[in-house]
Amino acid sequence: MERWPWPSGGAWLLVAARALLQLLRADLRLGRPLLAALALLAVLDWLCQRLLPPLAALAVLAAAGWIALSCLARPPRLPVATRAVLITGCDSGFGKEAAKKLDAMGFTVLATVLDLDSPGALELRACCSSNLRLLQMDLTKPADIRHALEFTKAHTTSTGLWGLVNNAGFNDVVADAELSPVATFRSCMEVNFFGALQLTKGLLPLLRRSRGRIVTVGSPAGDMPYPCLGAYGTSKAALVLLMDTFSCELLPWGIKVSVIQPGCFRTGEESVRKVDHWERRKQLLLANLSQELLQAYGEDYIEHLYGQFLHSLRLALPDLSPVVDAIIDALLAAQPRRRYYPGRGLGLMYFIHNYLPEGLRRRFLQAFFINPCLPRALQPSQPSPTPTQDAVQDPAPNLGLSPTEAQ
């Protein structure tokens, strides 16, 4: 029996009318999610016409279209008005781009930089309004954090502080955890965890008063064991757990906490300078390895790791707008998400990490980021290493620390 086409057409007209209205109000974006939803609706339409009576098909298709458009709609946003926000790590990358975008939207932006004369700081001075204030802050120095707290209180007396964006991050070693100096783990924790903790705690009285927002840039390396990012990933895992704790504890105060887990983006300076920087870090790592570790792993192994890492940097996305958009949504959405995952392939990555066997997870991360070769001692042609005097002594790495500090 031939089906009447009008119920299906009526449902599509309803869906099209609502989609057009949402597009005109900028509540909906043209993109792959919308196209995927329309494709699924078309499949559902085909099934309904063959399995259901006309009126039931109309009801199911219209309801499915309405729900899909509701899910795709942007959440309502709060007005910018005179809101003030503090962003850390604005010398480059996400921090710098977020500061520029928020300033253009009308926010009062307090942007922290490591160096007030850095290229990023000079760019912000040149292209932003007088509402943007720059201040120097090193998150490893309590005196700098205290000064930032006083600066923030002094510059938000009339507006209050609406948001804190914990963006600053640090990592300077790409190597297995055994090869990474303990000092590197401490440095990552000082910047990525303890610095963010001290700054956030210091600003909580202002944020409680405004019932504002805390937005923190984490990393998927804190959720899954990325090869050769043990120090960085460990610090980010601690930071994200801290933010989840804050999210629960600060809910009665009206403070909303969001964590952004970005994919692989090109956030540093120009590629030539990045290559020079990582070449210096590699040479310093090699110079400070014990003889036993150098024999076990081999210089070729470390050269391979850094070559793979630089290759992944070249493949990183140069457009930082997905992360900046996530920061803005976390600051202004009436009901912000607790997690944002901007970037290419993150959905597949988290699916594999959460649901597939451990061996497949490991191989996927290696193929995606760094695929290490076999250490020298594990290669078939190499004899097993024997303990050396260097291995017994296990000297502290020479990274500018006194022996007491290294211990």
**Rg of the chain over all Cα atoms, to the nearest angstrom:** 26
Mean pLDDT of 74-88: 87
pLDDT at position 10: 76
Mean pLDDT of 62-86: 84
pLDDT at position 387: 47
Q: 223: left (phi > 0), else alpha (psi -120 to 50), else beta?
A: alpha
pLDDT at position 48: 83
pLDDT digits (tens, 9 = 90+) for 196-252: 999 999 999 999 999 999 999 999 999 999 999 999 999 999 999 999 999 999 999
Q: What is the pTM of this model?
A: 0.78
17-26, 168-177, 350-359, 372-381 — which is least confidently predicted?
17-26
Mean pLDDT of 93-118: 96
With a cut of 80, say whether residue 398 has pLDDT above it: no
With a cut of 70, say whether residue 386 has pLDDT above it: no
pLDDT digits (tens, 9 = 90+) for 165-192: 999 999 989 999 999 999 999 999 999 9
With a cut of 70, say whether residue 270 has pLDDT above it: no
Among 226, 232, 301, 340, which one carries the catalytic annotation? 232
The average confidence (pLDDT) of the chain is: 86
Share of the chain above pLDDT 70, in %: 89
Please list the alpha-helical segments (H only) found in 53-155: 54-72, 93-105, 119-127, 142-155
**pLDDT class for 26, splitting at 50, 70, 90?**
low
355 is catalytic: no
pLDDT at position 53: 85
